[in-house]
Chains A and B, each alone.
Chain A
Amino acid sequence: MSIEVRNLRKTFGRFVALDDVSLKVPGGELVALLGPSGSGKTTLLRIIAGLEPADQGTIHFHGEDATEQPVRERQVGFVFQHYALFRHMSVFENVAFGLRVRPRRVRPSEAEIRESVMGLLHLVQLDVLSDRRPSELSGGQRQRVALARALAVKPKVLLLDEPFGALDAKVRKELRRWLRRLHEEVHVTSVFVTHDQEEALEVSDRVVIMNEGRVEQSGTPEEVYEHPATPFVYGFLGDVNLFHGRIHQGRVTIGESELDAPGWADARDQAGIAYVRTYEVELAPSPSNGTSLAAVVRHIRAFGPVVRLELDLLDGGRTIEAHIPRARFSALSLAKGQRVYVSPTNVRVFAEAP
């Protein structure tokens, strides 16, 4: 079932949590709402669920207006950030809750409840722990109980608030892959909130990047990563270096060097910022006719397949970061304090905000 959100606005006192947000989630997709804290992503999720009323705007499920529909009638599954498992109930009863509270005439029989709950617990690989209390489970296990509980009512839409936020790095990675597979299996339209860009890019079909209550960009992980629409998206997805300079007729001048600025052929001496990903730089021991920037190696972190370097630019004294393959690092035989020349291989130029 598709979800559509139109012109949503929400304020908490004087804080604008959502500012004219519109969004479409096609049926069956797994969508990530990505943004820093305070960007309004959790608020958006809670409004979609019906846990929070919007000040303005509408929500449509499968083309039908659901704005005024109460939470319990929306048939959404919601996984809370801290799971919100019922602490006084067993794992089994937690998952069965949504079926047990149904009105008598639509309530499944005890045998049917048992069957569907055990089926779900099997799906989340927790069938052997069905008698445990939530307090006796690990974080990852609780997370999976929360998921099974949300799926038990056969929701049309699954909403997850920072589903892996409270877990340690290793469990996060496992659960991420597991969520992806689960989604392929049950195929319910899902929206999850995260502030972790790697998580969003790795798990979702589509990423919606939010900042200060607005949608900055939405698209497939490849689209948003390769073609960031705004400086914010560029900076938020992956490590990036910023160079302040002047744009003039398709070229950007940074200090004494000049680089190509694709898309700015008409610019006439305008302030701009060049964004360069940390791994999209070439290092060389000698300058290459005016398109490279001189720098001094300040710090080297040489573990893993990628060597991370901190470089002090000679003009301006700013520090940039460069990630180069280990083989290239060995070939250059760089050492602390040594001079190198930096040539960006891919530059994206945005006008500086006035």
Chain B
Amino acid sequence: MATMALPRPATTAPRSLTRATGESRAVRWTLTAIALVFLALTLVLPLALVFHEAFSKGLAAYVAAIREPDALSAARLTLLIASIAVPINLVFGVAAAWCIAKFEFPGKNLLITLIDLPFAVSPVISGMIFVLLLGTNGWFGSWLQEHDIKIIFAVPGMVLATTFVTAPFIARELIPLMQEQGADEEEAAIVLGAGGWQTFFRITLPNIKWGLLYGLILCNARAMGEFGAVSVVSGHIRGETDTLPLHVEILYNEYAFAASFAVASVLTLLALVTLTLKTLVEWQQKRSASDAAEPARILERTVA
């Protein structure tokens, strides 16, 4: 633009404002290019590679790899584990967030820290903890053996490990949201005669539904994709204690590359679906947030 070079009158405030915080064109282009190249190398290229390798022996081999009995059993187990772990964490997450956001009690900070623990600990260590507690030589191992209860190297252990690793997702998503909303609406509902459950289902839940859905999607994605913790407690029995991520590793270690990538592509598709859903929910969340935005909403209650 030719006008860019002209000295600007002082009245064009918005333009001089963007200049104050902006960068020169060269810097902007360079930074954008670096970001794009980085993304291409670390995200797009691996993603493309997964599908390229998966189809490297043709469509028939791809379908065969996915329909193979062990792969199907792994898929079933993955779904089973997620269908147990996710609801448990849904209940735990909502309950924990409700407690933390709406009430004051001693030990609240400790609870918040504990909720974050699974994020702070390496998943492999999480798995080890369960082995040490419940394994044959673990603290409760002999008791469990006496009563013929099998947890480690069996499905219950994998569910436990997955539940532990995915515990923070929903609570973490809801706590800031519920804290921001405060307890005013709940108090209003109770004064109007609503009971505890009525207040929860009619007031609290509608206000957090998008945040809750977002947390659920992330929690589910992690539950299906978890490798480290589940690997430690699974025992790798083909067709029995094998989830999709573990199955990918087994196939890879057996040099069945095309089959391995075919199964991996299923998980990748799951990731893409998750991302799409996540974006949709985020968009909805933003819409309902701006919908409900009250100007001059003061959060802290003074003891006036």
Contacts and interface: CB of A to CB of B under 8 A. Distances in A.
Contacts of A51: 187, 190-191
B34 interface: no
B23 interface: no
A39 B139 CA distance: 57
Interface stretch (A23-31, A81-89, A237-245, A322-330): A81-89
Interface size bracket, A side: 35 or more
A153 B296 CA distance: 28
Interface string A301-339: 000000000000000000000000000000000000000
A17 B188 CA distance: 22
Contacts of B203: 86
A133 B187 contact: no
A236 B206 CA distance: 44
Nearest to A45: B304
B298 interface: yes
B185 A86 contact: yes
Given A88-B292, A97-B189, A38 B195 contact: no
Contact of B193 (A37, A42, A102): A102
B121 interface: no
A166 interface: yes
B192 interface: yes
Interface string B128-151: 000000000000000000000000
B304 A38 contact: yes
Interface size bracket, B side: 20 to 34
A41 B304 contact: yes
Contact of A42 (B202, B206, B303): B303
B68 interface: no
Contact of A78 (B188, B194, B288, B297): B188
B104 to A, nearest CB: 10
B198 interface: yes
B203 to A, nearest CB: 6
Interface in A144-195: 149-150, 152-153, 162, 166, 193, 195
Interface of A: 12, 15, 17, 35, 37-43, 49-51, 71-72, 76-78, 80, 82, 84-88, 97-98, 101-102, 133-135, 149-150, 152-153, 162, 166, 193, 195
